Amino acid sequence: METLILRIQYYSGMEEFISYIMHFGNPDKQAIDIIASKATELTLRKGEHFSEAGRIPKQVGFVVEGVIRGYYYDDKGDEITRCFISEGSLVADYVNFEANTPTSEFLQACTDCRLLLFSKHNWEDLSREIEGWDTIKNKMVQRCMYQKSRKGPVISQDATTRYMTFMKNYPAVINRVQLAHIASYLGVTQQSLSRIRKNIR
C-alpha cells in the first residue's frame, strides 16, 4: 500500500481517477495498485493535440486539469467543434482505439492540460490482470463515447437558446475556451455570439 500512496502522490491526478472509477465499480486495493502502476502523466500545452485525424489512436487519457475539445472538418472545409471534455472525464477516440483504425477527428487542448495516460498495451493489461475490470471499463467507455459524440445544439432553436443550453451543459468550460470554438459548437458566427453574450449579461 505504501507503493500505491507514493505513486498517487507522484501522479497527483490518480486519486481523482480512482474516485471516478468508483462511480462505475468497486475495485479492491490490489486492483487500484495495478491501475496506478499502468498510468503515466501527460502534459499538453494549449493548442497541442491528444489525437489527430488520419492517425490511429494509441492511448486513453483522464483529464486532471484543463479542457479538450473534439473537432472535425466538414465537406466545405469548415472546422466544426463537436464537444468539450473537462476535468474528471475520460478522453479517447475509443471506437478507432479499439478497432486500431485511423480517426477522422481531432482532440485538441483548449487550455494547458494535465492528463493521466494509459497506452493501448497498458489499458489492455488491466483487463487481463484485474477481475471484473471489463465491466467497469465498459461503463466508463460508454460515458466517454457519449460525451465525445454528443451533437451540437438543435439548430432549429434560436441562437440565444442554444447558448443558454451550452452554459447549462458546460459550466466548467464557458470562460476557459476561445469564443471561436464556442461559436463553432453552436453553429453561429463569433460576432453573433458576442452580441448574445452582451445581451444576456
Tens of each residue's pLDDT in the chain, 201 residues:
333 433 434 456 888 999 999 999 999 999 999 999 999 999 999 999 999 999 999 999 999 999 999 999 999 999 999 999 999 999 999 999 999 999 999 999 999 999 999 999 999 999 999 999 999 999 998 888 877 665 556 566 788 988 998 888 888 898 899 999 999 999 899 999 999 998 887
Same domain, yes or no: 20 and 106 = yes
Same domain, yes or no: 134 and 157 = no
pLDDT given for residue 200 in this prediction: 83
**How many domains are contained in the chain?**
2
Across the strands, what pairs with 61?
Answer: 91, 117
The CATH number covering residue 39 comes to: 2.60.120.10
Query: Where does a domain end: 151, 169, 189?
Result: 151
* Spatial strand order in the sheet of 49-51: 49-51, 106-109, 68-73, 79-85
Q: Cα 147 from chain centroid?
A: 8
Same domain, yes or no: 74 and 86 = yes
Lookup: cell for 105: 477527428
Lookup: cell for 99: 478497432
Same domain, yes or no: 23 and 91 = yes
* Cβ contacts of 193 within 8 Å, gap of 6 or more: 159, 163, 179, 182, 183, 186
Q: How far apart are CA 123 and CA 145, in angstroms?
A: 16
Same domain, yes or no: 17 and 93 = yes
Indicate the residue type of 35. Answer: I
Query: Where does a domain end: 151, 173, 193?
Result: 151
Same domain, yes or no: 45 and 9 = yes
Query: Per DSSP, which regions of the chain are E strands?
Result: 40-44, 49-51, 59-65, 68-73, 79-85, 90-91, 106-109, 113-119
Same domain, yes or no: 119 and 163 = no
pLDDT given for residue 3 in this prediction: 38
Q: Residue 12 — φ and ψ, nearest 5°? A: -65, -15
pLDDT given for residue 155 in this prediction: 60
Each as own residue / partner, the long-range contacts of residues 70-73 (CB below 8 Å, 24 or more positions apart, any chain) are 70/105, 70/106, 70/107, 70/148, 71/105, 71/106, 71/108, 71/181, 71/184, 72/104, 72/105, 72/106
Q: How far apart are CA 97 and CA 57, in angstroms?
A: 5
DSSP 8-state class, residue 56: -
Same domain, yes or no: 116 and 181 = no
Same domain, yes or no: 33 and 109 = yes
CB 68 within 8 A of CB 108: yes
Same domain, yes or no: 142 and 176 = no
**Would you tell me how many other CB atoms lie within 10 Å of the CB of residue 122?**
17
Containing structural domain, residue 186: 153-201
